[in-house]
């Protein structure tokens, strides 16, 4: 994977962006199609408010067409009946094509979502490639079982794909969150209909075309653009969809479970919101290193990260030194700027509406008596959607800023006196996606890992991991896991075949 090309300047990227012609349709049956009713929706560049493209806005009839296309591909077996090695080869070629189109995809992602281009090239795209290649490699590593029986019987346990899977994904890592669903789903032999987030759909449409270019049969990977309450809801209610796999907010996750109940009891796999605590114990071994990671844990991707470490719980003995270093490190590292500039480390928020919501939460925290140590407002002009990196002190457990997901560059910092108090504060949340503990004592770390109500816990680090790490939450952060071979199995169902040999 080529990393950010240091010889490319902001102007080079801007010139390349001007040459792009983003695909604007849905992707159904291997080709780009417009909405049946002709409806469209705008894609806006959040860094400057300019229109990038008008893309198709799907309704129920468009979802019906996409599901019918996927269902036809499922029924005739053009994908699931290929040998594991053939499917593996298609996914490997898909990864190669994504790599070859890295610059185009990075530009589309940056224009559509506002993510700094260096982040797309150095973080998102390498992760996307690792994901496709990992699940491609897993395809022929899965076994069934032959159980112990009497001689006159034979019992096989096999894993089969589910059928048509609907994937509904968010805008914060548009390609990567989609790929965490697509790669295991397709590797397992399913057909898929993806509904990407309406705020940033452009790269996902390219991924669909590249799948076909890689030799993926038409109709196996379909995509319908549109808004959640229209195309998303239609997909989640569809009687021919066997599973909905979702990443997004907890509120929408709850709706999806209801839609499954109202329709066909389809499986619903949810990766939802978070409010992750980072706990800094008094014996941590290196305050500078801990602060460094804490800053990245909240401000990477402008805080638009489900597992963002948005609650900093700091032992009182460290509190003043921690805050002082945190502020200095933030000011050194995170400068909001033009996301097409390769030196930019923080882009705008993904949309005007989201920026307004984040600023409202900061204002509410101040009205309730908390204070902004840094940040607290928008920055870099009216036409863009930037929010300055913000640290809030003086918040109490019951305040909305501590309890509710902000999904922006906003952290709270709170002091604690004892381990029990830290754990109580950490677990006092409807969410349980991730947490971190900083301590030099292994026993303390082990005890706290066991006590933390979170699906992912980091010790003396934040955000580390690889494809072997099951990623997902406890409590209202979700009910499933992305990554890891378990994710591949979650797109399959178990069949028991009992043979009477008499
Ligand atoms: P969102 O829930 O508003 O939207 C996510 C997707 O759901 C979009 O494609 C949207 O169109 C669709 N949708 C909205 N309403 C729908 C409906 N009624 N029926 C069907 N689909 C509908 O979330 P968002 O604002 O795009 O993303 C931010 C959220 O995603 C945050 O809460 C964040 O924590 C979460 N997230 C979680 C993870 C994880 O792995 N746990 C990863 C990334 C983001």
Q: Where are the domains of the chain?
A: 18-272+479-496, 277-466
Residue 233 and residue 120: Cα distance in Å, rounded?
29
pLDDT of residue 381: 84
Residue 397 and residue 224: Cα distance in Å, rounded?
41
Report the residue among 43, 198, 231, 248 best suited for mutation to probe ligand 1: largest number of ligand atoms under 8 A from its CB: 248
Q: In whole numbers, what is the pLDDT of the chain averaged over residues?
A: 97
Q: Which residues of 159-169 are buried (b: 16+ CB within 10 A; e: fewer)?
A: bebbbbbbbbb
Residue 384 and residue 335: Cα distance in Å, rounded?
15
Whose tokens are 């112990």? That residue is 148
Distance 247 CA to ligand 1 centre (A): 5
Reported as type and span, the H/E element at residue 329 is helix 319-333
Reported as type and span, the H/E element at residue 437 is strand 434-438
Atom of ligand 1 nearest to the CA of 255: 18
Measured N-to-C along each axis, helices 102-113 and 84-100 cross at an angle, to the nearest 10 degrees, of 70
Reported as type and span, the H/E element at residue 86 is helix 84-100
Distance 166 CA to ligand 1 centre (A): 14
pLDDT of residue 5: 56
Average pLDDT of the residues in 138-144:
95
User: 357: which 2 tokens?
Assistant: 């919501």
User: 477: which 2 tokens?
Assistant: 């952060």
Distance 248 CA to ligand 1 centre (A): 2
Distance 228 CA to ligand 1 centre (A): 9
Residue 247 clears pLDDT 70, i.e. is over it: yes
172 ligand 1 Cβ < 6 A: yes
Distance 253 CA to ligand 1 centre (A): 8
> Would you place residue 335 in the very low, low, confident or very high pLDDT band (cuts 50, 70, 90)?
confident
Reported as type and span, the H/E element at residue 40 is strand 40-44
Residues 6+ apart with CB under 8 A from 87: 79, 136, 139, 186, 187, 189
359 ligand 1 Cβ < 6 A: no
Residue nearest to ligand 1 atom 28, measured at CA: 248
Domain boundaries 277-466, CATH class: alpha beta
145-146 and 191-195 strand pairing = unpaired
- For residue 304, which phi and psi values (nearest 5 degrees)? -90, 65
231 ligand 1 Cβ < 6 A: no
230 ligand 1 Cβ < 6 A: no
Residue 393 and residue 369: Cα distance in Å, rounded?
9
pLDDT tens digits along 392-444: 999 999 999 999 999 999 999 999 999 999 999 999 999 999 999 999 999 99
Give me Rg for the CA atoms of the chain: 23
Length of the chain measured in residues: 502
User: 311: which 2 tokens?
Assistant: 């609650």
Atom of ligand 1 nearest to the CA of 270: 41
Distance 200 CA to ligand 1 centre (A): 12
Q: What is the pTM for the complete model shown? A: 0.97
Beta bridge partners of 268: 244
- Whether 315 and 415 have beta carbons less than 8 Å apart is answered as yes
Farthest-apart Cα atoms in the chain, separation: 80
Output the CATH code of domain 18-272+479-496: 3.40.605.10
User: 313: which 2 tokens?
Assistant: 């719980």
Beta bridge partners of 434: 456
39 ligand 1 Cβ < 6 A: no
Catalytic residues: 271, 306
Distance 8 CA to ligand 1 centre (A): 33
Atom of ligand 1 nearest to the CA of 273: 34
Q: Which residues of 323-344 are buried (b: 16+ CB within 10 A; e: fewer)?
A: bebbbebbeeebebbbbbbbeb
405 ligand 1 Cβ < 6 A: yes
In this structure, of 48-52, 249-253, 379-383, 401-405, the range with the lowest mean pLDDT score is 379-383
236 ligand 1 Cβ < 6 A: yes
Residues 6+ apart with CB under 8 A from 105: 98, 120, 125, 175, 203, 206
Residue 379 and residue 358: Cα distance in Å, rounded?
13
Average pLDDT of the residues in 361-383:
94
Atom of ligand 1 nearest to the CA of 197: 9
> Would you place residue 1 in the very low, low, confident or very high pLDDT band (cuts 50, 70, 90)?
low
> Would you place residue 383 in the very low, low, confident or very high pLDDT band (cuts 50, 70, 90)?
confident
> Would you place residue 2 in the very low, low, confident or very high pLDDT band (cuts 50, 70, 90)?
very low
pLDDT tens digits along 66-110: 999 999 999 999 999 999 999 999 999 999 999 999 999 999 999
> Would you place residue 6 in the very low, low, confident or very high pLDDT band (cuts 50, 70, 90)?
low
274 ligand 1 Cβ < 6 A: yes
Question: Helix or strand or coil: residue 242?
Answer: coil
Average pLDDT of the residues in 142-159:
97
Atom of ligand 1 nearest to the CA of 235: 20
Atom of ligand 1 nearest to the CA of 199: 26
195 ligand 1 Cβ < 6 A: yes
> Would you place residue 382 in the very low, low, confident or very high pLDDT band (cuts 50, 70, 90)?
confident
Residue nearest to ligand 1 atom 11, measured at CA: 228
């Amino acid at each position: 994977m080529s990393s950010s090309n240091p010889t490319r300047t902001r102007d080079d990227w801007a010139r390349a962006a001007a040459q792009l012609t983003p695909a604007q349709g849905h992707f159904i049956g291997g080709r780009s199609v417009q909405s049946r009713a002709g409806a469209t929706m705008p894609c806006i560049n959040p860094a400057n408010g300019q229109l990038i493209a008008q893309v198709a806005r799907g309704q129920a009839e468009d979802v019906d067409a996409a599901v019918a296309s996927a269902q036809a591909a499922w029924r005739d077996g053009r994908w699931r009946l290929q040998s594991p090695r053939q499917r593996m080869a298609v996914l490997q070629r898909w990864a190669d094509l994504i790599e070859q189109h890295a610059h185009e995809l990075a530009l589309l992602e940056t224009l559509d979502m506002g993510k700094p281009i260096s982040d797309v090239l150095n973080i998102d795209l390498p992760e996307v490639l690792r994901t496709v290649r990992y699940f491609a490699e897993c395809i022929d590593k899965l076994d069934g079982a032959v159980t112990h029986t009497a001689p006159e019987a034979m019992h096989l346990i096999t894993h089969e794909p589910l059928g048509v899977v609907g994937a509904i994904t968010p805008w914060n890592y548009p390609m990567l969150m989609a790929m965490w669903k697509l790669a295991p789903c397709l590797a397992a032999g399913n057909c898929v209909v993806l509904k990407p987030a309406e705020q940033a759909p452009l790269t996902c449409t390219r991924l669909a075309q590249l799948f076909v270019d890689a030799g993926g049969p038409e109709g196996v990977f379909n995509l319908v653009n549109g808004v959640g309450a229209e195309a998303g809801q239609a997909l989640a209610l569809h009687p021919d969809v066997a599973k909905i796999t979702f990443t997004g907010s907890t509120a929408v996750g709850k709706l999806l479970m209801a839609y499954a109940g109202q329709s066909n009891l389809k499986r619903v796999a949810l990766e939802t919101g978070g409010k992750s605590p980072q706990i800094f114990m008094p014996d941590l071994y290196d305050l500078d290193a801990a602060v460094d990671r804490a800053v990245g844990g909240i401000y990477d991707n402008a805080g638009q990260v489900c597992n963002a470490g948005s609650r900093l719980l700091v032992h009182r003995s460290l509190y003043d030194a921690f805050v002082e270093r945190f502020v200095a490190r933030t000011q050194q590292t995170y400068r909001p700027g033009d996301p097409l500039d390769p030196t930019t480390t923080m882009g705008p928020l993904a949309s005007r509406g989201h920026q307004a919501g984040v600023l409202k939460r900061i204002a509410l925290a101040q009205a309730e008596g908390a204070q902004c140590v840094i940040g607290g407002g928008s920055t870099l002009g009216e036409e863009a959607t930037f929010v300055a990196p913000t640290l809030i002190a003086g918040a109490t457990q019951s305040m909305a800023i501590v309890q509710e997901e902000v999904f922006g560059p906003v952290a709270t910092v709170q002091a604690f006196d004892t381990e029990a108090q830290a754990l109580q504060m950490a677990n006092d949340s409807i969410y349980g996606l991730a947490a971190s503990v900083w301590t030099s004592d292994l026993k303390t770390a082990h005890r706290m890992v066991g006590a933390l109500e979170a699906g992912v816990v980091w010790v003396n680090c934040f955000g580390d991991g690889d494809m072997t790490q099951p990623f997902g939450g406890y409590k209202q952060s979700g009910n499933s896991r992305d990554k890891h071979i378990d994710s591949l199995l979650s797109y399959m169902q178990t069949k028991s075949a009992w043979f009477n040999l008499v």
